[in-house]
Structure 1
Amino acid sequence: MASIDFNSDVGESYGVYRLGDDAAVLDHVTSANVACGMHAGDPQTIAATVALAVARGVSIGAHPGFADLQGFGRRPMQLGRDELHHLVVYQIGALQAFCTAAGTRLAHVKTHGALYNMAARDPAMARAVADAVRAVDPQLVFYGLAGSELVRSAREAGLAVAEEVFADRSYQDDGALTPRSHPGALITDIRQSVAQVLRMVRSGVVRSVHGVDVPVRPDTLCIHGDQPDAANFARAIRQALEAEGVSVRPASRRAIALGPASPLTPGAHA
């Protein structure tokens, strides 16, 4: 039977600013990427989001990004290797502490926004992030864009890796996500999103905005919690996957079965 992890970026409210319906989204996903307070989130939001995930049996991961609340972590920043390393360590540590306080464990790490997209292309950035994750806990599963430098660097660092695909984003011919500033970057039609997901799971390819079939390995599937109607997207996608006989479960549970510092086995999703 096929299996896939289903994750969402959550915990992105801050102070009086409210973003997304985390409780509704977490009803349908298996893993939560919780903002760590740099691009979004604050201590109250982190604690509340961790509690929501624990109550639903959802696996919890840290979602570190650039220190850019005003830009929601989506603006490129140039940091030295040590700066980037410590920025990621700091944010993982924050989520790890909240998980410990809630009687659970941190399971994975996935970078956010501009940091994610830049490191997906830049080997030096990707290795700095991977080394930071390993320095905190080598048993954490590393989520990275399928086929990217993030995935390669994490494997070189000896981390278990879940290659990530997206339900609500379009792709370029090289497997990169279409920049949000471009038309068609976001998929806003549920039927189109479901069709893209099922094709990735069935065939291991995603069609780019230019009509090119790009190979992908769908270990984990992301839906953004801040997008409009995210909960309905998540519900429809989960129902479609289960109707296809796909087992939806956290990547961290599959990785743990393989032992620490082991990549997910090829074909684990098929």
Structure 2
Amino acid sequence: MVSIDLNSDLGESFGPWPMGDDSAMLDLVSSANIACGFHAGDPAGILSVIREAMSRRVVIGAHVGYRDLVGFGRRAMEPSSAELIGDVIYQIGALQGLAKAAGTSIHYVKPHGALYNTIANDARQASDVIAAIKAIDPELTLLALAGAPIVQQARQAGLRVVCEAFADRAYSADGSLVNRRLPGAVIHDPEVIAKRMLRLVKDRVIESIDGVEITIEADSICIHGDNATSVATARVLKEAFIANGVHIASFIPGVNGGGRE
């Protein structure tokens, strides 16, 4: 049976300002990337999402980012290595503490936004994030952009890496994500998304924004949770996978039906 993980960025509401529908999304995904307070999220909200994820047997991971609440973590930054290592350790530690209070634990780390895109190719910042993960818990899995240099860099450093693709993002011919500022960078039609992701899962192929077919080896698919169509997209995608014999399961062995390498 073909299997794939569905993940989404959750826990990003801040006080009275909601961001997405975490409860609805948790009914559809197998992994939850939970904000750690630097780009979004507040402790009470984060704890609530952790508890909801736990009740649904959804695997949780730390969604670490730059210290950038105003920019939602989507602004490029150049922290020193000491700053970045400390910030990533701090965020993972905060989520670990909240998870422990809820009676569960975190299993992986997925960087957010600008940090995610930067470390895909920036060896120095990638090395800092890798070092931070290894320092706090080398058993944590890193969720990273399929085909990016960080995948091999992290594996050589001894981390387990799972590669992911993005359901609602357009790709360039080189396998990178199209910049959000450009037209067509974000795909909104659930049916188009489902068709693209089915082909990705079954054939490992996706069509870039300029019509070039590229190969992407991914074991997890991200559905962004911070827009109005997120839940509808996730529902259509999940239904399409089930209808076509694709099993949805976490990439973490032994958790929520996980075990895929």
Bigger shift: 239-248 or 32-41?
239-248
- Pairing 1:110-129 to 2, within 5 Å after superposition: 110-129=110-129
Find the counterpart in structure 1 of residue 130 from structure 2.
130
The alignment partner of 1:232 has SS state of: helix
Among all aligned residue pairs of Structure 1 and Structure 2, give the percentage whose two residues are the same amino acid.
47
Gaps of 5+ in 2: none
Find the counterpart in structure 1 of residue 211 from structure 2.
211
Kindly indicate whether the alpha-carbon contact (under 8 Å) linking 2:251 and 2:258 is maintained by their aligned counterparts in 1. no
- Pairing 1:53-132 to 2, within 5 Å after superposition: 53-132=53-132
Kindly indicate whether the alpha-carbon contact (under 8 Å) linking 1:126 and 1:149 is maintained by their aligned counterparts in 2. no
**Shift of the alpha carbon at 1:2?**
1.1
Q: Does 1:180 align with 2:176?
A: no
Provide the rounded CA distance (Å) in 2 between the counterparts of 1:157 and 1:98: 28
**Shift of the alpha carbon at 1:59?**
0.2
Cα deviation digits, residues 70-121 of structure 1 (max 9, x gap): 1000000011112111111110111111111111110110000000001111
The alignment partner of 1:253 has SS state of: coil
Query: What is the letter of the counterpart of residue 109 of structure 2?
Result: V
Find the counterpart in structure 2 of residue 154 from structure 1.
154
Find the counterpart in structure 1 of residue 242 from structure 2.
242
**Shift of the alpha carbon at 1:157?**
1.7
Find the counterpart in structure 2 of residue 144 from structure 1.
144
- CA gap of 1:181–1:240, structure 2 versus 1, over 3 A, is same
Provide the rounded CA distance (Å) in 1 between the counterparts of 2:112 and 2:258: 26
Find the counterpart in structure 2 of residue 268 from structure 1.
none
- Pairing 1:254-265 to 2, within 5 Å after superposition: 265=261
Query: What is the letter of the counterpart of residue 116 of structure 2?
Result: Y
Provide the rounded CA distance (Å) in 2 between the counterparts of 1:166 and 1:175: 11
**Shift of the alpha carbon at 1:149?**
2.3
Gaps of 5+ in 1: 266-270
Find the counterpart in structure 1 of residue 222 from structure 2.
222
Kindly indicate whether the alpha-carbon contact (under 8 Å) linking 2:250 and 2:258 is maintained by their aligned counterparts in 1. no
The alignment partner of 2:253 has SS state of: helix
Find the counterpart in structure 2 of residue 28 from structure 1.
28
Cα deviation digits, residues 23-55 of structure 1 (max 9, x gap): 001100000000000000010111111011011
**Shift of the alpha carbon at 1:258?**
11
- The alignment covers a number of residue pairs equal to 261
Query: What is the letter of the counterpart of residue 119 of structure 1?
Result: I
Bigger shift: 109-118 or 205-214?
205-214
The alignment partner of 2:9 has SS state of: strand
**Shift of the alpha carbon at 1:254?**
6.5
Kindly indicate whether the alpha-carbon contact (under 8 Å) linking 1:146 and 1:216 is maintained by their aligned counterparts in 2. yes
Cα deviation digits, residues 145-166 of structure 1 (max 9, x gap): 0011221222112111110001
Find the counterpart in structure 1 of residue 202 from structure 2.
202
TM (normalized to structure 2)?
0.96
Find the counterpart in structure 1 of residue 3 from structure 2.
3
Cα deviation digits, residues 198-226 of structure 1 (max 9, x gap): 11101111111011111111210000000
Kindly indicate whether the alpha-carbon contact (under 8 Å) linking 2:249 and 2:258 is maintained by their aligned counterparts in 1. no
**Shift of the alpha carbon at 1:130?**
1.4
Query: What is the letter of the counterpart of residue 55 of structure 1?
Result: S
Query: What is the letter of the counterpart of residue 169 of structure 1?
Result: R
Query: What is the letter of the counterpart of residue 235 of structure 1?
Result: R
The alignment partner of 2:234 has SS state of: helix
What CA RMSD, in Å, does the superposition of the two structures yield over aligned residues?
A: 1.8
- CA gap of 1:116–1:52, structure 2 versus 1, over 3 A, is same
The alignment partner of 1:199 has SS state of: helix
Find the counterpart in structure 2 of residue 40 from structure 1.
40
Provide the rounded CA distance (Å) in 1 between the counterparts of 2:207 and 2:216: 10
Cα deviation digits, residues 147-201 of structure 1 (max 9, x gap): 1122122211211111000111110111111111000011100111101101110
Query: What is the letter of the counterpart of residue 21 of structure 2?
Result: D
Provide the rounded CA distance (Å) in 2 between the counterparts of 1:62 and 1:152: 21
